[in-house]
Amino acid sequence: MVAPLIIKGKFLYKKTEKAVRVRFAPSPTGKMHLGNVRIALENYLFAKKHQGSFVLRIEDTDAERNFDPDARKIIETLAWLNLSFDEGPIFQSQRKALYQKYLALFEQKKLIYRCFCSQEELEKKRDRQIALKKPPRYDRTCYQLNEQQVADNVTADKPFVWRFHIDETQHLSFTDIARGVLHFDLANFSDFSLTRQDGSFTFIFTNAIDDWDMAISHVLRGDDHLSNTVSQIAMFQAVGAPIPLYWHLPLLCNKEGKKLSKRDFGFSVEDLKNAGYLPEALVNYLGVIGASVQDEILTIDQLVSLLPDHPASPNNIKYDLDKLNWVNHKWIERMATPSLVAACSPFLAAHYDITTLDQTKLTQLLTLVQTDLITLGHCVEATRFYFQRPTSVKIQNLAVRELIKKNISLLPHIHNWEAAIKQEAKSTNLPLSTVFPTIRAALTGSPNGPHLRGLIEVLGTEEARVRLEAAVD
């Protein structure tokens, strides 16, 4: 068995003895979304848990839908998420000779036949079946053609596709890791296309052939592929090919229980990255979603060790943005100061002039608000108080106003000022739960936020005095 590797842009091959081989096989049809990433993550974790190989295969046989040349976005996203693949990227568009070889084998074994039905004819048949409340399936019109009829159509250059003939008298069974042994009556399935009329190969064919040729041992993919699995195993059985173990993962749904779509924020990984979500947080969230774990903040290595050998099979998994925000917040809290400053600086620079801040001041400012950040992008709002003075804050509480006026001269000595504020509040029966939020609002425009000492230190005592005087004037 050989396994392809990419070295300096060329395919090289080496032997591999690893028993567990899984693949992530996206189509380069657009941006990577959460559903893609979750499938990639589960395959990565499975490979690492079993000391196996994680293969990246790009299913790019449908040229009209390929909007990500050379799968750059896919590869960049996997790198950003630290999901490194052991083999690949392997492009199906470079494997046409292989698919042609297997197509010829299927033809030789009389497992396939030419279908000359046009798309218009197929749609009419489908509409009629639906109108009669019958399941829409190909009616095998062309399977009934005799050799002369087929030859006449070929001579006339009539467009056709190759269809695989399903033996509707048979039953098929296969093992799903989460569901156990599944049974299907092939009478409920129809003959499916292996090629398109332009001669290109369909997903259902190339996907199966590659799994066979690459000795993929386990196929982890969404449960929307369940019917595809039946058709592909029918091909495997027809030629005596080994059948992988399957794990059909439940799809990500929104809060309404519908399949996650472009209308849901966070569907696009690029959008999440641009909003300031951390790759560690995204991997962490997708790794624990739908699972029951005691500690939910986990590294990727911890996720590997927690991956169950016999997972449960929930009906669906709901994407919860609030939970993702919480996980991201926890990961930002963990960030080392240099990493925090480096990650937040581009967001700040897009809104404020930070060239006047030295590294010490920038570090002091971001460290002050670190525990308040939900995303990296949130640093723009969290630090707004520093770059923009609040203009409409007027303290209405007369007692608090007098307390601030009386002690404002102590600001240069922050410890003395803080002690005096506490003592004065106690002697006048003013609760600190009223005093401190009021002072914070005068300094930042909001009663909520960082602690007062840190605020005054980062603003500087002179700037803090100006703001407090403006609020009590």
| Mean pLDDT value of segment 44-58 | 96
| Mean pLDDT value of segment 216-233 | 94
Q: How far apart are CA 439 and CA 455, in angstroms?
A: 10
- Residues above pLDDT 90, as percent of the chain: 74
Give the model's confidence band at 12: pLDDT under 50 very low, under 70 low, under 90 confident, else very high.
very low
Mean pLDDT of the chain: 90
Spell out the domain ranges in the chain.
98-249, 389-472
Please answer whether residues 258 and 267 qualify as being in contact, where contact means their C-beta atoms are separated by less than 8 angstroms. no
Give the model's confidence band at 135: pLDDT under 50 very low, under 70 low, under 90 confident, else very high.
confident
The verdict on whether omega for the bond into residue 89 sits within 30 degrees of 0, i.e. cis, is: yes
DSSP class of 268: B
Q: Which helix (H) or strand (E) holds 459?
A: helix 452-459
| Mean pLDDT value of segment 50-58 | 96
Q: What is the pLDDT of residue 395?
A: 85
The pLDDT of residue 7 is above 90:
no
> How many CA atoms lie less than 13 Å away from 135 in the CB half-sphere?
5
Query: Angle, nearest 10°, between helix axes 452-459 and 432-444?
Result: 20
Q: Tokens at residue 373, please?
A: 């950040």
The pLDDT of residue 372 is above 50:
yes
Q: Which has the closest alpha carbon to 408: 363, 448, 447, 439?
A: 439
> How many CA atoms lie less than 13 Å away from 103 in the CB half-sphere?
22
Query: 277-288: string of b/e by CB count within 10 Å (b at 16+)?
Result: bbbbbbbbbbbb
Helices (H), 60-194: 72-80, 96-108, 119-131, 147-155
Q: How far apart are CA 311 and CA 223, in angstroms?
A: 14
The pLDDT of residue 378 is above 90:
yes
Q: Which has the closest alpha carbon to 377: 348, 339, 341, 340?
A: 348
Which range (204-208, 390-394, 413-417) has the least confidence? 390-394
The pLDDT of residue 303 is above 90:
yes
Question: Rounded to whole angstroms, what are the CA distances from 1 to 6, 13, 25, 251, 420?
Answer: 17, 10, 20, 33, 78
Hey, do 98-249 and 389-472 end up sharing a CATH topology, with the first three levels equal? Answer: no
Query: What class does CATH assign to 389-472?
Result: mainly alpha
| Mean pLDDT value of segment 69-77 | 90
| Domain 98-249 belongs in CATH node 3.40.50.620 | yes
| Mean pLDDT value of segment 195-212 | 94
Query: Angle, nearest 10°, between helix axes 461-472 and 432-444?
Result: 110
The pLDDT of residue 14 is above 50:
no
Q: What is the pLDDT of residue 396?
A: 83
Q: What angle do CA 254, 259, 265 make, to 5 degrees?
A: 50
The residue with tokens 């924020």 is 265
Which range (65-74, 109-118, 450-459) has the least confidence? 65-74
For residues 117 and 316, which has the higher predicted lDDT (pLDDT)?
A: 117
Give the model's confidence band at 308: pLDDT under 50 very low, under 70 low, under 90 confident, else very high.
confident
Q: What is the pLDDT of residue 366?
A: 97
| Mean pLDDT value of segment 398-414 | 92
The DSSP-derived string for 110-128 is T-EEEE---HHHHHHHHHH
Q: Which helix (H) or strand (E) holds 322?
A: helix 321-334
Please answer whether residues 362 and 343 qualify as being in contact, where contact means their C-beta atoms are separated by less than 8 angstroms. no
* Per-residue pLDDT tens over the stretch 86-115: 999 999 999 999 999 999 999 999 999 999
For residues 44 and 397, which has the higher predicted lDDT (pLDDT)?
A: 44
Q: Beta-carbon neighbour count of residue 207 at 10 Å?
A: 24
Give the model's confidence band at 58: pLDDT under 50 very low, under 70 low, under 90 confident, else very high.
very high
* Per-residue pLDDT tens over the stretch 264-301: 777 789 999 999 999 999 999 999 987 778 889 999 99
Question: Rounded to whole angstroms, what are the CA distances from 128 to 117, 139, 140, 150, 184?
Answer: 15, 12, 15, 26, 26
Q: Which helix (H) or strand (E) holds 57?
A: strand 53-58
